[in-house]
Chains A and B, each alone.
Chain A
Amino acid sequence: MATETQVAEGAAHAAEQVGMPQLDFATFPNQIFWLVVTLVVIYFVLSRIALPRIGAVLAERQGTISNDIATAEELKLQAQEAERAYQKALADARAEAQRIVAATKAEIKADLDAATAKADAEIGARSAEAEKQIAEIRAGALQSVTEVAKATALDVVAAMGFRADPTVVDAVVDAKLKG
Chain B
Amino acid sequence: MAEEATGGLQIHPMDQFIVKPLFGGDAIHWYTPTNVTLWMAISVLCVVLLLVIGTRGRAIVPSRIQSVAELAYGFVYKMVEDVAGKDGLRYFPYIMTLFIFIVFANFLGLIPTAFTTTSHIAVTATMALGVFFFVTVLGFVKHGASFLRLFWIDQAPLVLRPILAIIEIISYFVRPVSHSIRLAGNMMAGHAVIKVFAGFAGVLGVGAVFPLAAITAVYALETLVAFIQAYVFAILTCVYLRDALHPHH
Given A10-B1, A21-B14, are A26 and B51 neighbors across the interface (CB < 8 Å)? Answer: no
Closest Cβ–Cβ distance, residue A39 to chain B (whole Å): 6
* Those of B45-76 within 8 Å (CB) of chain A: 47-48, 51-52, 55, 58-60, 62, 66, 69-70, 73-74
A56-64, A123-131, A156-164: which lies at the interface = A56-64
**B residues 121-160 touching A (CB-CB < 8 Å):** 121-123, 126-127
Q: Which of A19-42 contact B (CB under 8 A)?
A: 19-24, 26-39, 41-42
Chain B residue at minimum C-beta to C-beta distance from A33:
B30
Q: Is the CB of B106 closer than 8 A to any CB of chain A?
A: no
A46→B37 contact, CB < 8 A:
no
Is A46 in contact with B60, judged by CB distance below 8 angstroms?
no
Rounded to whole angstroms, the CA-CA distance of A157 and B59 in the bound complex is: 144
A172 within 8 A of B: no
Among the 9-residue stretches A47-55, A84-92, A143-151, the one with 4 or more Cβ atoms under 8 Å from chain B is A47-55
Q: Among A26, A37, A50, which residue has the most Cβ atoms of chain B within 10 A?
A: A50
Across the interface, B100 reaches (CB within 8 A) one of A20, A33, A46, namely A46
Contact A45 B47 (CB under 8 A): yes
B43 contacts chain A at the CB level, 8 A cutoff: yes
Q: Are B47 and A31 in contact (CB under 8 A)?
A: no
Asked if B29 and A30 make an inter-chain contact with CB atoms under 8 angstroms apart, the answer reads yes
**Chain A proximity of B61: nearest CB distance (Å):** 8
Q: Which residues does chain A contribute within 8 Å of B241, judged by CB atoms?
A: none
Given A30-B36, A32-B126, CB of A39 within 8 Å of CB of B97: yes
Separation of A53 and B98 alpha carbons in the complex (Å): 19
Interface residues of B in 95-124 (CB under 8 A from A): 96-98, 100-101, 117, 119-123
Q: In the complex, which residues of chain B have a beta carbon less than 8 angstroms from the beta carbon of A39? A: 97-98, 101, 127
B59 contact set on A, CB distance < 8 A: 57
Interface residues of B in 168-192 (CB under 8 A from A): 184, 188
**Cα A29 to Cα B94 with chains together (Å):** 22
Residues of the A chain whose Cβ atoms lie less than 8 Å from the Cβ of B15: 17, 21
- Tell me which of B26, B43, B73, B188 contacts A54 (CB under 8 A): B73
Query: B17 touches which one: A22, A43, A60 (CB < 8 A)?
Result: A22
- Chain A CB count within 10 A is highest, among B15, B37, B59, B188, for B37
Given the known interface contacts A27-B122, A46-B96, A53-B58, the answer about A58 and B101 at a Cβ–Cβ threshold of 8 Å is: no
> How far, in whole Å, are A38 and B121 apart by their CA atoms in the complex?
16
Whether the Cβ atoms of A21 and B19 lie closer than 8 Å is yes
- Shortest distance from the beta carbon of B74 to any chain A beta carbon, whole Å: 7
B223: A residues at CB distance < 8 A? none
Partner of A36, one of B55, B62, B73, B126: B126
A22 in contact with B48 given A29-B29, A61-B60 (CB within 8 Å): no
Interface residue? B206 (CB, 8 A): no
Q: Does B92 contact A (CB under 8 A)?
A: yes
Of residues B17, B18, B97, which shows the largest number of chain A Cβ atoms within 10 Å of its Cβ?
B97
Decide yes or no whether B163 CB sits under 8 A from chain A: no
Residues of B in contact with A (beta carbons under 8 Å apart):
1, 14-15, 17-19, 26, 28-32, 34, 36-37, 40-41, 43-44, 47-48, 51-52, 55, 58-60, 62, 66, 69-70, 73-74, 92-94, 96-98, 100-101, 117, 119-123, 126-127, 184, 188
Leading 3 A-B pairs by shortest Cβ distance: A29-B30, A50-B51, A27-B19
Question: Besides the contacts A27-B120, A33-B31, what 4 more A-B pairs have beta carbons closer than 8 Å?
Answer: A29-B29, A30-B31, A50-B47, A57-B66
In the assembled complex, 14 residue pairs joining A and B whose CB atoms fall closer than 8 Å, in A order, are A17-B14, A21-B17, A22-B122, A30-B31, A31-B34, A31-B120, A36-B126, A38-B101, A42-B47, A46-B93, A50-B55, A51-B73, A51-B93, A53-B55
